[in-house]
Amino acid sequence: MPVRHPWRWVASAVVLVLLAMLAHSFATNSNYGFGIIGGLLFTRPVLDGVLLTLGLTGAAMGIGIVLGVVLAVMRLSPNPLVSWVSWAYIWFFRGTPVLVQLFLWYQLSYLFPHLSLGIPFGPRFVTFNTNSVIAAVTAAILALGLNEGAYMAEIVRAGILSVDAGQSEAASSLGMRRLQVMRRVVLPQAMRVIVPPTGNETISMLKTTSLASTIAVIELFGAVQQIAARTYQVIPDLLVACAWYLAITTVMTIGQFYVERHFARGAQRSLPLTPFQKLRGNLAVWRIRVAGSSR
């Protein structure tokens, strides 16, 4: 007896009606300006905005991940001072809005027009001039990255705690030191728990970079706002931004699958299939069926 799912049919009908309404609105309401969107997608300012958005996302996530690992390891340190510093960091950066932090860093670049790298109260090795266009981008990267570090720290910590304590004991008993145990044994296993929420954070960061437009960073959202201010075609411009954000998110989601698969090594007896492998498998089965029935 085939199983019947009457509610699936009802739900499908509702979705179809809604889609039809949306399509009708697209077709009849010229305010969307679909004609313009295609032309705008690949214009110079939009593409520059996309590149800057990608750069901001990459840099902020890079800082966030490195910082997150350091903070998580610090948080689990047997040294109470080290652990407390990490706790305080997370407390501050998680407890204040990222938009406020963004403005704070931007303002700081005015407070400290020269940022230098060197020994405290000693000689300076490198000096950055902060008060320029670069200052806004730097402030954005710092603000987003440092804020992300606090969230990543908690994700990494959860990952570390998910690894059985027996693993660290076995590694310690071989003579590995604490950081060696972390790097060689615990973190690689923690990755299985760390990667999925990190993918989530990256996608979230992609969209959060749009806040940088508030401190005059012309990333994707900033770019379409500028175009909209000139042309008054606000909705088509916003839809252009949406299209790009969606496209990048899609690519990231696919990338995440492969990263997860990489870190699943040894966790299961066999690795999950990639969509291509599944497709090939299905095709093979289908071909056998066809061959079987034609005989």
Please give the residue ranges that form the binding site for other proteins (CB under 8 A).
164, 166-167, 169-178, 180, 184-185, 188-189, 263, 265-269
Least distance between other proteins and beta carbon 222 (Å): 42
DSSP 214: G
249-269 as b/e: b if 16+ CB within 10 A:
eeeeeeebeeeeeebeeeeee
H or E element in which residue 184 lies: none
Least distance between other proteins and beta carbon 164 (Å): 8
In this complex, which beta carbon is closest to other proteins, that of residue 44 or of residue 269?
A: 269
Rounded Cα distance between 275 and 258, Å, is 10
Whether the Cβ atoms of residue 56 and residue 209 lie closer than 8 Å to each other: yes
Least distance between other proteins and beta carbon 180 (Å): 5
Whether the Cβ atoms of residue 146 and residue 101 lie closer than 8 Å to each other: yes
In this complex, which beta carbon is closest to other proteins, that of residue 38 or of residue 266?
A: 266
Whether the Cβ atoms of residue 211 and residue 141 lie closer than 8 Å to each other: no
In this complex, which beta carbon is closest to other proteins, that of residue 31 or of residue 79?
A: 79
Least distance between other proteins and beta carbon 165 (Å): 9
Least distance between other proteins and beta carbon 190 (Å): 10
In this complex, which beta carbon is closest to other proteins, that of residue 180 or of residue 200?
A: 180
Q: How many residues does the chain have?
A: 295
In this complex, which beta carbon is closest to other proteins, that of residue 30 or of residue 79?
A: 79
